[in-house]
Amino acid sequence: MSRRAGFLLSMALLLGLGLFASYVLGKLEPYDDVVEHGPSPEVASSPYLAAEHFLRKQGIAARRAEGLEVLDGLPSEGQTLMLLADRGNMTPRQVERVLQWTANGGHLLFIAERLWDEEEGKSGDLLLDLLGIQQYMSDDLDDEEASEPEPESEASEAYPQLTKLYLENEQAPAYIAFDTDFHLYDAQNRAHAWANSDSATHLLQLYHGDGLITVLSDPWIWQNRSINEYDHAWLLWYLSQDSAVTLLYYADSDGLARLLLRHFPLALLVLALLIIATLWHVGVRHGPLLAPASRARRQLEEHLRASADFLLRRSGQHSLLKGLQQDINRRARRRHPGFEKLAVAEQWQVLARLTRLPTKDISQAMRPLPPQRLSASDFTRQVAHLQTLRNAL
């Protein structure tokens, strides 16, 4: 191909690539895409984090506690304690402590956790039982027992599934989306305020000593995903106004096992499987068991060999070799009085005269043992020399 033809071909290729790029760029359209990464770890671990931030924005001091030990330094006056999580492990002593704190002037807010059991005459929720408040399923109630009397209005008919809270000097109620499956009943008629939906009561307030107790049927309205709905945030502000708020996520301190199970379930599962596999590997039998040998076939040689193997494993080479050398010295003393007082070289000469063996073999057998362990062949050879010398005596 000539130089001119190559140049023309290159230009044609460049032109084609330019036209193709222009076509592709003409088809491209810019767009915005939002990638949702989900809640941050802090939000995921704190279901009431939005409630805390809301209270602080309203000028209310709010803090989070991890256990009832917070009561040690928490005054009753001007304080609201919100128990918003499971209280199943609370002891009677802890319940009495909380109620005494409330009676001294504090405001206690907690969630009803158990249903009333007619047969046992209790619910198992210590706070509910002590205060005479019973929780039922709304479907189990008669229409006449479903709710406390409330002012009739068009609002109650328009939103039957919402709970209405009526305030004095207010024309319209506040609306809260409680779970209508549950109903609170004041068995001792102590409540002075309440809030109802058309089918059930979901909020009760009663005095306790110098303090105030608020009982809710469920806490979902203040969790991160629901606090911005209806008047949920307003209700949180209304119940905590003119006080400092302590939100107790866990009424009892979690132990190490529970924390590990909550945050590292997969790691614990892998660890459990590893332990099971290790135990199986250690416990499994490798090959069939050997049947015990019959006593009738055992010979003296086998006993001697077994005894020698036992002594070798238990005492070691040096102990066996030293025992043979001592036995040779005892025999030499019996045949040659004063043998033990002679020098080593003279002792070897006496042994050579008594056994008629070369002095070289005697020195090799009776020399001090090296500190290191002998090889199997050296050990066998040394034993043979000592036995030959002992037998000659």
User: In this model, does residue 287 exceed pLDDT 70?
Assistant: no
pLDDT tier, 260 (very low <50, low <70, confident <90, very high otherwise): confident
Place 5 in a pLDDT band, splitting at 50, 70 and 90. Answer: confident
Provide mean pLDDT across the span 217-224: 86
Lowest mean pLDDT among 9-18, 81-90, 239-248, 366-375: 366-375
Residues 65 and 159 in one domain: yes
Task: State the CATH number of the domain containing residue 194.
Answer: 3.40.50
Could you tell me if 211 and 98 are in contact, meaning their C-beta atoms sit under 8 angstroms apart? Answer: no
Confidence of residue 353 (pLDDT cuts 50, 70, 90): confident
* Co-location of 307 and 207 in the same domain: no
Q: Is residue 317 part of a domain?
A: yes
Q: Are 235 and 82 in contact (CB under 8 A)?
A: no
Name the residue among 182, 201, 218, 206 with its Cα closest to residue 132.
206
Q: Considering the domain boundaries, does residue 65 fall inside one?
A: yes
The pLDDT of 265-292, averaged and rounded, is: 80
Domain check: are 135 and 60 in the same one? Answer: yes
pLDDT-based confidence at residue 109 (cuts at 50, 70, 90)? very high
Number of domains in the chain: 2
Gap between the Cα atoms of 267 and 264, Å rounded: 5
* Average pLDDT for 224-251: 84
227 and 307, same domain (yes or no): no
Is residue 143's pLDDT more than 60?
no
Instruction: Give 169-218 pLDDT, tens digit per residue.
Output: 777 888 888 888 889 998 888 888 888 888 889 999 999 999 999 999 88
pLDDT of residue 279: 86
Domain final residue pick, 192, 220, 252: 252
In sequence order, the 6+-apart residues with CB closer than 8 A to the CB of 244 are 60, 61, 62, 63, 78, 79, 80
181 plus 242 within the same structural domain: yes
Domain span including residue 109: 41-252
Instruction: Please say if the pLDDT value at position 374 is more than 80.
Output: no
Same domain, 176 and 318: no
Do 320 and 246 have their domain in common? no
For residue 61, being part of any structural domain is answered with yes
Contact between 380 and 388 under an 8 Å Cβ cutoff? The reply is: no
- 3-class DSSP state for residue 145? coil
Report how far residue 40's alpha carbon sits from residue 36's, in angstroms, rounded to the nearest whole number.
11
Q: What is the pLDDT of residue 91?
A: 83
186 domain-assigned:
yes
Give the pLDDT confidence score for residue 147 in this predicted structure.
46
The answer to whether position 13 is within a domain reads no
The string of pLDDT tens digits covering residues 22-61 is: 877 777 777 787 777 656 666 666 788 888 888 898 888 8
- Does residue 244 share a domain with residue 387? no
Answer yes or no: is pLDDT of 344 > 50: yes
**Model pLDDT for residues 76-96, shown as the tens digit of each residue:** 888 899 888 778 778 888 889
Q: What is the mean pLDDT of residues 121-148?
A: 77
Whether residue 229 is contained in a domain is answered as yes
pLDDT higher for 140 or 146? 140
**pTM across the whole model:** 0.53
Q: Which of 18-32, 281-295, 319-333 has the lowest mean pLDDT?
A: 281-295
Q: With bands split at pLDDT 50, 70 and 90, how would you rate the model's confidence at 144? A: very low
**DSSP E strands, the chain:** 62-65, 79-83, 107-111, 133-137, 163-165, 174-176, 182-186, 191-196, 201-208, 211-216, 244-248
